[in-house]
Amino acid sequence: MIKLKAIKEKYNFEPKYTFSELQQNLPQRFESKIQDSILYKALETLAVMAYPTETNKFEKRWNDFYLPFKRKGYFMLVPLSIILYEKKFFLSIHNSLIEVSKNNEERGFLGDLIEQTIKFSRTLKKNPGLVIEALPYDIRTGRVLGKYVLERLLSAGEKEKILKLYREHIEKQSRSDGVSLDNYLNTAAICYKAAFGSKVKGLTAEQMYRKWADDRDCGMLKIKNRTSKKAFKKWLDSESHCGCHPFEIVFSWLNHGIHLYPPYTGKEFFTLRLSNYMYASPFLEMVRALIISNLPFEAYELEKVLDYLTGNSYFTVNSYSEHNILYDPGNRKFFKHIEWDEPNILKWK
């Protein structure tokens, strides 16, 4: 990091705004629209200072401009991406996307900020190394192995043992000739008991399903003949078309949780799937239980889940992915293990 005093003395520049003012002035919604001709003209001036990172017949994109700020006595830069599409600018700043078009002649926070960026970009053009020095670690992106992030890990030996058991099960398992509603709920109950232990005590299979599943069952629980495979197949073929909701046996507000799909024509076995890795451990316990029960099933994500639980999957740092974390400057326990991305530098004109 660079002291603000050093930037003033060496480059005769001081950012007008603090980083907290950026956070306060960015739109609350992820996407927003601004009509501001002054801001638009400033963006035109900034854009022509560098060659686009990407260009095609529809749009031009500049991925690596940097906004100057001050924070607690230090100078810092924040990445700015600009897209020009159908005579509108789109700004990507700190998890916000802002559409800018011409109209009002009213200088606001963003207009001033872009003017500051234009001014400092002339210095940045001559001193590109400033990007690495002034880009804070809570803004930079990178990746880190899960073994440095997760508190509890599965051993490599246990991973291989589970994979061996699963592969042997797949090789010898028979195909299902269909299931009834009771068959489906009882199979889900095997999963619930394995994953949640004493929490299922005293509950019937249906009560477990109602407790943990997505409550949109598409009428599945209204099937009258619960022991009839024919009745379940009829519902499956004609009435279950509300997405995957009836089969999300562990509901998650984020993405999906755990799905248990019943056998059907062309796939004569249960399918166990995981979407939200917060449920990786319960998912693994379900796999174990289904193997022991000798039920025909497949778990396509099993190897990926095992990689995750043994700490061999990467987490992205400060960027969204399947597994991700935000870097906390106050918690440096795995700092030395982060593989930081090198900041990109635009090609200036």
Per-residue model confidence (pLDDT) at position 320 = 85
Taking 3-state DSSP, the helix, strand and coil percentages for the chain, each rounded to the nearest 5, stand at 40, 25, 35
Per-residue model confidence (pLDDT) at position 332 = 82
Per-residue model confidence (pLDDT) at position 266 = 80
Q: Decide if pLDDT at 206 tops 90.
A: yes
Mean pLDDT of 237-251: 86
pLDDT-derived band at 176 (thresholds 50, 70, 90) equals: confident
Cα separation, 145 vs 171, whole angstroms: 32
Cα separation, 330 vs 224, whole angstroms: 58
| Predicted confidence (pLDDT) per residue in 22-38, tens digit | 999 887 666 788 888 99
Per-residue model confidence (pLDDT) at position 188 = 97
Per-residue model confidence (pLDDT) at position 107 = 67
| Predicted confidence (pLDDT) per residue in 218-240, tens digit | 999 999 999 999 999 999 888 76
Which pair of tokens denotes residue 319? 């960027």
Per-residue model confidence (pLDDT) at position 6 = 95
pLDDT-derived band at 96 (thresholds 50, 70, 90) equals: confident
Q: Decide if pLDDT at 241 tops 80.
A: no
**Under 8 Å between Cβ of 65 and 84:** no
Domain locations in the chain?
2-136, 154-309
Per-residue model confidence (pLDDT) at position 238 = 84
Cα separation, 283 vs 195, whole angstroms: 7
| Predicted confidence (pLDDT) per residue in 105-116, tens digit | 766 899 999 999
**Under 8 Å between Cβ of 349 and 50:** yes
Q: Decide if pLDDT at 250 tops 80.
A: yes
| Predicted confidence (pLDDT) per residue in 257-300, tens digit | 999 999 987 889 999 999 999 999 999 999 999 999 999 999 99
> Chain-wide mean pLDDT for the chain?
93
Instruction: Name the phi and psi angles at 303, rounded to 5.
Output: -65, -40
Q: Decide if pLDDT at 242 tops 80.
A: no
Q: What is the DSSP string of 43-104?
A: HHHHHTTB--SEE-SSEEEEEEEEEEEEETTEEEEEEEEEEEETTEEEEEETTEEEEEES--
Mean pLDDT of 55-72: 94
Please name the residues in contact with 44: beta carbons below 8 A apart, sequence gap of 6 or more: none
| Predicted confidence (pLDDT) per residue in 122-141, tens digit | 999 999 999 999 999 999 99
Per-residue model confidence (pLDDT) at position 264 = 84
